Amino acid sequence: GAVVSQHPSWVICKSGTSVKIECRSLDFQATTMFWYRQFPKQSLMLMATSNEGSKATYEQGVEKDKFLINHASLTLSTLTVTSAHPEDSSFYICSARGGLDYEQYFGPGTRLTVT
C-alpha cells in the first residue's frame, strides 16, 4: 500500500516560535494533501486541503497566516505553525491522495507541544 511519512513525529517548542512539519508520500505522487488537527479525545478536524502547485484551501476558522501550507512538489507538503501558542498543542496528521485512486493515505502524525 501507499506510504506517507511525517517528520518530526513529535516536537516541543517555546511559545512564540515557529515549527515546520513535513509530510511526504514515499511511493506515489500526491496530487492532493490534507492537514488535520486532533485534540485529545476528539475526532479529526480538517484544517486545509492543498493541491500541488496551488494555494491551500483552508477550512472555516483556520487562520491561513498562522498555519502556512506549502505543497511545492507531488511528494512533499509542509505545514508551518507560526508564532505558536500553548493552545496550538495538538496532534497534527497529514493524508495524501493521488492520481486515479481517491483513497486517502494517512501519515503517522506529529505531536506538537508548545510550552
Partner 1 sequence: GQNIDQPTEMTATEGAIVQINCTYQTSGFNGLFWYQQHAGEAPTFLSYNVLDGLEEKGRFSSFLSRSKGYSYLLLKELQMKDSASYLCAVRDSNYQLIWGAGTKLIIKP
20, 34, 16, 11: which is closest to 90 by C-alpha?
11
- Between 40 and 86, name the residue whose CB sits nearer to partner 1: 40
Residue matched to cell numbers 500541488: 52
- Phi-psi group of 83: left, alpha or beta (phi > 0 → left; psi -120 to 50 → alpha; rest → beta): left
Shortest distance in whole angstroms from residue 53 CB to partner 1: 19
Supply the minimum distance, in Å, between the C-beta of residue 57 and partner 1: 10
In whole angstroms, how close is the CB of 37 to partner 1 at the nearest point?
12
Binding site for partner 1 (CB under 8 A): 34, 42-44, 46, 49, 91, 93, 102-104, 106-109, 111
Residue closer to partner 1 (CB basis): 49 or 80: 49
Which DSSP helix (H) or strand (E) runs through 57?
Answer: strand 57-58
